[in-house]
Amino acid sequence: MKVRLLKDKEIKKSVKERYSKIAVGEESTCSCCSGTAPDIIEQAKAAGYSAEEIKSIPEEAIFGLGCGNPTALAEIHEGETVLDLGSGGGIDVFLAANKVGVQGKVIGVDMTEEMVKSAIINAEKGGYSNVEFRLGEIENLPIEDNSVDVIISNCVINLTPDKLVAYKEAFRVLKPDGRILVSDLVTIGDLPEEIRRSFEAWSNCIAGAMEKDDYIDTIKNSGFSKVEVVEAHYYTEPEMDVRLEGKILSIQVKAKK
């Protein structure tokens, strides 16, 4: 039986539905998590968050999603404006907020209304006055041109069908000399077509992953320079398809405008 090609709108709808359910606790948060840890906190630690970082933010902001800790490598400074692409419950926004201080600002953008609502509640509980959450898509950011010092993102860009547009938007909103630090999944070699055409595999951050070299070229083609992979390791998830073993990499990439 031939499996039809997925359309961009269908992919976005499927991903949005999945993460809406995660935001309200109707579905497991194991998609896009790192390792096989049994609970959310351990998943966050496996992704690269320290116990101290986890304790410093509202626990409700931690969904166990992500494939890295971009705030650890982004060299965020006091007073800067930071943008988090696909901010979810706000984990990276709050960690960045602790670094930029009261003179700085962190903006989280997420396309899922339930995630944005959850993040706003978490910000109120944590008493954060230097954060803001906006509803929007990373291919059409609700952010002004040349207004951001640093962009971070954690295993989100692979969820969008058009990564070149997403990176061009990131380039647009960054100030001159601005920088990005993105954690994401990429592939080594081709993935089976039935996985590429699976809605579930898309929302699990697998089907949308690009081949590593193509991913790096996409960042360069959007205008960025000094593109560098600063960390990389093989990615696994609970019950991973054996055909994917050794083909998925979790990388952290930095670049400058």
4-48 pLDDT tens trace: 456 788 888 888 888 788 778 776 655 555 444 446 666 666 666
| pLDDT tier at 142, thresholds 50, 70, 90 | very high
% of the chain exceeding 90 in pLDDT: 58
The pLDDT of residue 19 is: 79
Q: Are 205 and 33 in contact (CB under 8 A)?
A: no
| pLDDT tier at 2, thresholds 50, 70, 90 | very low
Q: State the CATH number of the domain containing residue 197.
A: 3.40.50.150
pLDDT surpasses 50 at 151: yes
Which two structure tokens, joined as six digits, stand for 118?
Answer: 């959850």
| pLDDT tier at 190, thresholds 50, 70, 90 | confident
Determine, yes or no, domain membership for 240.
yes
Which two structure tokens, joined as six digits, stand for 162?
Answer: 């058009």
Determine, yes or no, domain membership for 2.
no
Determine, yes or no, domain membership for 156.
yes
Determine, yes or no, domain membership for 176.
yes
% of the chain exceeding 70 in pLDDT: 86
Which is it for strands 148-154 and 131-135: parallel, antiparallel or unpaired?
A: unpaired
- H helices of the chain, in order, are 8-23, 40-47, 51-55, 70-73, 91-100, 113-126, 163-173, 193-196, 199-203, 212-221
Contacts of 210 (CB under 8 A, 6+ apart): 158, 163, 186, 187, 218
For the chain, how many structural domains are there in total?
1
The pLDDT of residue 186 is: 95
Determine, yes or no, domain membership for 215.
yes
Spatial distance between the Cα atoms of 121 and 59, rounded to a whole number of angstroms? 12
Residues 225-246 have pLDDT tens digits of 999 999 998 887 766 778 888 8
Spatial distance between the Cα atoms of 249 and 172, rounded to a whole number of angstroms? 27
pLDDT surpasses 80 at 112: yes
Determine, yes or no, domain membership for 3.
no
The pLDDT of residue 8 is: 80
Determine, yes or no, domain membership for 158.
yes
pLDDT surpasses 50 at 1: no
Range of the domain at 46: 8-256
